[in-house]
């Protein structure tokens, strides 16, 4: 019910707000009308988030190996099978687990870090596609109320899923997701505010490149959700993008 309501409300609000946002033009300073683009775009931020997701999965394995003897049942019993497939058979991960100086500080790697990173991941993926399509439109949307509405819509769905899969960390995860919903839109707006390159009409070759790039980004999203298990704490045992289940 919450998911369906979120979709309906999001569509209705977007239909009302998008036309005004698309028509609005943001003035660009004269010195910014060159071909120079922002130093840091949403693509760079998206790559950073993906690396953090991957790092968290490694540190989660380190935490379970050192603090729970490699047994993830302390949390796995609350969730469906396959949510906590460890890479503890990998020699690099095993070495890191054996030499990590203070494994107790890695406790937040159990569900909490994912709860914060999921919203930046999806919104930055959206912002990246929008920037590839039209830099000016990306700048206007990212600095409009639409990005906050998108954050609210996604967060409502994520929180509904959290509550449906209740566990000892659910309340903390809900609070963390609300924090992410507050801080992520301003960060994306700040990135877009540095954008100074005006969009040019997209050529046929540019449209083809956009389609290929969109295909590649779609596969990245599938890899993060399916292999690195953003919602879960699973990691390929060989660290070679092999599915862990």
Higher pLDDT, 28 or 70: 70
pLDDT tens digit sequence for 115-146:
999 999 999 999 999 998 888 889 989 999 89
For the chain, give percent helix, strand, coil, nearest 5.
Answer: 70, 0, 30
- Give the pLDDT of residue 28: 47
Burial 154-166, CB ≥16 within 10 A → b, else e: bbbbbbeebeeee
Query: In the structure encoding, which two tokens stand for residue 150, read together?
Result: 């998108």
What does the chain come to in residues? 245
Furthest-apart CA pair in the chain: how many Å? 61
Query: In the structure encoding, which two tokens stand for residue 90, read together?
Result: 């990998």
Tokens 């394995």 -> residue: 61
- One DSSP character per residue, 107-155 reads GGGTTHHHHHHHHHHHHHHHHHHHHHH-HHHHHHHHTSHHHHHHHHHHH
CB atoms within 10 A of CB 80: 8
- Give the pLDDT of residue 35: 43
CB atoms within 10 A of CB 215: 9
What span, in angstroms and rounded, lies between the C-alpha atoms of 123 and 128? 9
Whole-prediction pTM: 0.80
Contact 40, 191 (CB under 8 A): yes
pLDDT tens digit sequence for 39-98:
578 999 999 999 999 999 999 999 999 999 999 999 989 888 777 878 778 888 899 999
Query: In the structure encoding, which two tokens stand for residue 37, read together?
Result: 């683009």
């Amino acid at each position: 019910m919450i998911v369906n309501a979120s979709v309906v409300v999001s569509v209705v609000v977007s239909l009302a707000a998008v036309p005004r946002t698309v028509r609005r033009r943001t003035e660009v300073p004269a010195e910014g009308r060159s071909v120079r683009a922002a130093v840091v775009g949403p693509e760079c931020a998206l790559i950073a988030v993906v690396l953090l997701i991957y790092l968290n999965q490694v540190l989660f394995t380190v935490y379970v190996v050192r603090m729970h003897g490699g047994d993830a049942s302390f949390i796995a019993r609350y969730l469906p099978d396959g949510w906590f497939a460890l890479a503890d058979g990998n020699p690099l991960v095993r070495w890191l687990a054996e030499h990590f100086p203070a494994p107790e500080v890695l406790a937040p790697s159990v569900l909490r870090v994912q709860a914060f990173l999921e919203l930046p991941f999806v919104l930055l993926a959206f912002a990246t596609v929008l920037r590839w399509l039209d830099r000016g439109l990306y700048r206007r949307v990212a600095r409009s109320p639409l990005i906050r509405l998108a954050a609210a819509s996604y967060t409502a769905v994520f929180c509904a899923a959290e509550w449906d899969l209740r566990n000892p960390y659910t309340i903390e995860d809900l609070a963390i997701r609300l924090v992410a919903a507050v801080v992520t839109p301003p960060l994306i707006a700040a990135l877009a505010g540095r954008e100074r390159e005006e969009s040019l009409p997209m050529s046929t070759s540019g449209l083809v490149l956009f389609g290929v790039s969109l295909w590649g980004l779609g596969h990245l999203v599938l890899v993060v959700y399916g292999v690195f298990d953003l919602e879960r704490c699973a990691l390929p045992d060989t660290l070679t993008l092999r599915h862990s289940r």
